[in-house]
Amino acid sequence: MSSPQPLARCFGVFGDPIGHSRSPVMHAAAFAALGLPHCYLPFHVSSGSLGEAVRGAAALGLGGVNLTVPHKQAALELCDRRSDTVQRVGAVNTLCFVQDAATGATQIHGHNTDARGFLDALDELPGASLRHATILGAGGASVAIADALLGAFADVELTWVSRAPERIVLPRDAEARARVRPLSWEQLGAPTGELLINTTIVGLAGGPRAFPVALELGKLEAGARVVDIVYPRPAGGLLERAAAAGFAVQDGLPMLLWQGVRALELWLDLALPDHAIERMRGALGLAATP
């Protein structure tokens, strides 16, 4: 006898703008691979409506929600519980709606899968072993990436570049903080080390075309990796130059994939099988795992 079909559930992503999001197609591919009847929809939610939208999603019994620009920080105060990563980086990208066994009330749990997703994506990019990384930009995404790197690589040192280095959100932990050097673009000179990560909006459609100073790549170590978390990869930008100089490069799609994998694992309470991850990869237009 075949097992009964699970109940269809709705998931989604809240953002403003949201039309460009590749998350719906990626999650639809995962549900199809898993034989689940669920759906994942993009919801245009403006800043002023986030509270209503989140509480509405909880009341309607949505399976889970992702948050993107501009909601990742604002959602903090809506969460009944925040994961350790969320508490450290101050940003939420995944909400789980959890029924309290005692009261039956729905609790909102906030997670951040961007940090882990960045590390998973970096694992796919071969390169020299990591001792020193440079992060460009100090927005919300950069805080999650810095937290991930400092936690995963006990000896790594970070140079962190911003137009306003005094505003960089340094780790609260003293040991981690001692491994971070905040710099202005003018102080940076040329980036050194084995990993360069662009988290700025430079190169994004409609964003600034050039970094505040010309970025010379010649001082990076041989075998260095260059990552631009913007997707799709802007033509003629940093990654094209880095690839031409012989460095291993990656745009933001692998990070998008892996933060999505980790969000699904939280919502479905399972380890996603390889074939489902491959279907998500295909839906994003990424090459299959070699």
Q: Is 197 annotated as a binding residue?
A: no
Binding region for ligand ATR (CB under 6 A): 69, 137-142, 162-164, 199-202, 208, 211-212
The interaxial angle of helices 114-123 and 253-268, nearest 10 deg, is 120
In whole angstroms, how far apart are CA 31 and each of 115, 121, 247? Answer: 23, 21, 35
Q: Which is nearer to ligand ATR, 71 or 281 (CB)?
A: 71
Active-site residue 72, yes or no?
Answer: yes
In whole angstroms, how far apart are CA 253 and each of 22, 171, 237, 256? Answer: 9, 26, 16, 5
In the complex, minimum distance from the CB of residue 164 to ligand ATR, in angstroms, rounded to a whole number: 6
Q: Is 22 annotated as a binding residue?
A: yes
Q: Is 206 annotated as a binding residue?
A: no
Q: Is 135 annotated as a binding residue?
A: no
Q: Which is nearer to ligand ATR, 62 or 75 (CB)?
A: 75
In the complex, minimum distance from the CB of residue 281 to ligand ATR, in angstroms, rounded to a whole number: 23
In the complex, minimum distance from the CB of residue 45 to ligand ATR, in angstroms, rounded to a whole number: 16
Q: Is 139 annotated as a binding residue?
A: yes
In the complex, minimum distance from the CB of residue 15 to ligand ATR, in angstroms, rounded to a whole number: 11
Q: Which is nearer to ligand ATR, 15 or 127 (CB)?
A: 15
Choose, from 27, 71, 72, 179, the residue flagged as catalytic: 72
The Cα–Cα gap between 77 and 49 comes to: 14
Radius of gyration of the chain (CA): 20
Q: Which is nearer to ligand ATR, 201 or 244 (CB)?
A: 201
User: How many other C-beta atoms can be found within 10 angstroms of the C-beta atom of residue 99?
Assistant: 12
In whole angstroms, how far apart are CA 189 and each of 196, 215, 218, 252, 290? Answer: 13, 8, 11, 25, 37
The HSE-up count of residue 144 (CA atoms within 13 Å, CB side) is 25
Q: Distance between alpha carbon 253 and the CA centroid of its chain, in Å?
A: 10
Which residues are known binding-site members?
21-23, 68, 84, 93, 114, 137-141, 229, 231, 252, 259
Give catalytic residue positions: 72
Which residues are known binding-site members for shikimate?
21-23, 68, 93, 114, 231, 259
Which residues are known binding-site members for NADP(+)?
84, 137-141, 229, 252
